[in-house]
Amino acid sequence: MLTGCATAVLPVTTPQPPQVRAPTLAVDTHLHLSMDRAAKPIFRGEPGRGPLTTNPQNRWVNAIDEAALEAHGVKLVYGAVWPPFAGRPGRTAFDEAVNQVRGLELFTLEHPGFAMVHSAAQARRAIARGAIAVLPQLEGGEGLRSVADLDALYAEGVRCVTLVHFIGNDLGGAAAGQLARALLHQDVRGREKEPQGLTPLGRDLVTRMMDLGIVIDLAHASDALAADVLAMTEARGVPVIVSHTGSRALSGMERNLPDELARRVAASGGLIGLSLFVDQLEVPEHTPHWPGAVPRSCDDVVGHWLHFAALVGNDALVLGTDDNGSTVRAGPGGLCPDGVGTSRELGSLWNALVSKGVPAESLDSQGERLLGLIERVEKKALPPAQRGPLVRAPRVDSFPR
């Protein structure tokens, strides 16, 4: 009777694994730092200015905290710029891409904790002095109509290009069903895949990216486009990244990376960035990652990481949150009691990964592996192309006179 009374008043809690230290040099291969400048008035806030969301369901309020990135070891990021369409009066999609890259540069000038960099060597120097190194990344090639357009963006500082975004463009095909999933919440698993691969212009631009030393990103790509790109990059020994994705074996939409392409990316020395977008990562209810796994929590992120780790090894994996993109992030529960709704909760994610067997040393080396990839891409570039007549684009304001 005494035992029963004693246990009746004890709080019932779920045991949590011990906390681990922050990684030595973690990365985020897809982070929208300047979305407030690019998506006014829909999006609000940015690191160090304006509101910080408290709700992982909120797609349109800043989820990035500079101090938290530093505290959780994130010191190297791809700063994504997203010109989704010619949505500003007086600007083409190319004009908007240029404007957003300049907006990202202005962001880093106004936030001294961040430093825009254009090479692995510059990134190493920025990290050494305590800044978060930001490499500009163009998400979607809608504005690229010629090699000259790519050259102009290289002159602006772009060092990574995600070839396609939600829909196909002049470069090639995007994964099927993305708009239906992201905007309408439709279940697109098992939908017929997009047949379009690289176009002739896409092939010309992929070649030029390799010549210039621009990292090629296969996120959002159709299988046909990804296979076409890999055939070209493998022939030149150039690694690629998939900056923010999940495993198609667990969540069967084309937007996620299939095992056969994941093996090719890893074999090339490439890296796969795991997203926090739970709409992309959720698995069928009857196939949990492990007994007691909580759907739409960080358990989904960890489950996808573990699948890829078993397939290609932990050293092919990094974090690619897509924070401040139009994403719903991991909610409370499972291995992350408070969820991973903002960068302030990244420590819980590191803890969850280590608790499931991911070596802390592999998390430590994310940055060094990304820097090594960038250096390999730079070494495969052609110096005459980099020294060519690369001219910055003229400024185009909204409502030009």
d(CA 351, CA 10): 26
Q: Could you tell me the fold of the domain covering 23-386? A: TIM Barrel (3.20.20)
d(CA 382, CA 75): 29
Residue with tokens 């160090």: 48
Q: What is the pTM of this model?
A: 0.92
Closest alpha carbon to 110 in 48, 154, 165: 48
Q: Which strand (E) or helix (H) includes residue 318?
A: strand 317-319
Burial of residue 124 (CB within 10 Å: 0-12, 13-18, 19+) is: middle
d(CA 176, CA 268): 25
What's the distance, CA 277 to chain centroid? 10
Residues 131-174: tens digit of each pLDDT? 999 999 999 999 999 999 999 999 999 999 999 999 899 999 99
Residues 69-107: tens digit of each pLDDT? 999 999 999 999 987 655 556 678 899 899 999 999 999
Domain ranges of the chain: 23-386
Residue with tokens 């790109």: 229
d(CA 196, CA 394): 33
What's the distance, CA 72 to chain centroid? 17
Q: Is-contact 226 234, C-beta < 8 A?
A: no
Residues 305-335: tens digit of each pLDDT? 999 999 999 999 999 999 999 899 999 999 9
Taking the CB of residue 370, how many other CB atoms lie within 10 A of it? 26
Q: What is the pLDDT of residue 12?
A: 30
Q: Is-contact 263 311, C-beta < 8 A?
A: yes
